[in-house]
Amino acid sequence: MANFVASLKNIIRSILKGDILARLGIDKYFIHIVYAFVLIVATVMISLKVETTLSKVEKNRKVLEELEIYHAERTGEMVKMGRLSTVEEHLKSLGSEVTVPTRPAVIIERR
């Protein structure tokens, strides 16, 4: 048990001093360890960025669906307003003297 505690103290001391790699004999692979660390950090950062982008896309998709519904409603209203009978009723409700033409339009020719 005393040997285990001494080993644990040595490991903690070498970690705090920064020479754990030299004690383990893997200091020649330091650049590889740094490279792996950089790759792991880059992967995590890219994953976070992708997740943020997908969240924005989903939010924008919901907004787009709402706008499509709004557009369909407005288009229906415009089609309804374009009907001749509706136009005539709307003009009467506004008190206008303009009515729907009773005879065909006459083309005026220029000379």
The domain locations on the chain are: 2-94
For the chain, give the percent of residues with pLDDT over 90.
Answer: 33
Residue 72 structure tokens: 């369909």
State the Cα–Cα distance between residues 104 and 38, nearest whole angstrom: 80
State the Cα–Cα distance between residues 44 and 46, nearest whole angstrom: 6
Dihedral of CA atoms 12, 21, 24, 20 in degrees, nearest 10, equals: -10
Residue 8 structure tokens: 């644990």
Say whether pLDDT at 63 is over 70: yes
Helix (H, G, I), strand (E, B) or coil at 97: coil
State the Cα–Cα distance between residues 9 and 23, nearest whole angstrom: 13
Say whether pLDDT at 19 is over 90: no
Helix (H, G, I), strand (E, B) or coil at 96: coil
Amino acid at 43: T
Say whether pLDDT at 58 is over 70: yes
For the chain, give the percent of residues with pLDDT over 70.
Answer: 92
State the Cα–Cα distance between residues 12 and 26, nearest whole angstrom: 17
The pTM assigned to this predicted structure is 0.49
Question: What number is the average pLDDT over the span 62-87?
Answer: 83
State the Cα–Cα distance between residues 90 and 98, nearest whole angstrom: 11
Average pLDDT of the chain is 84
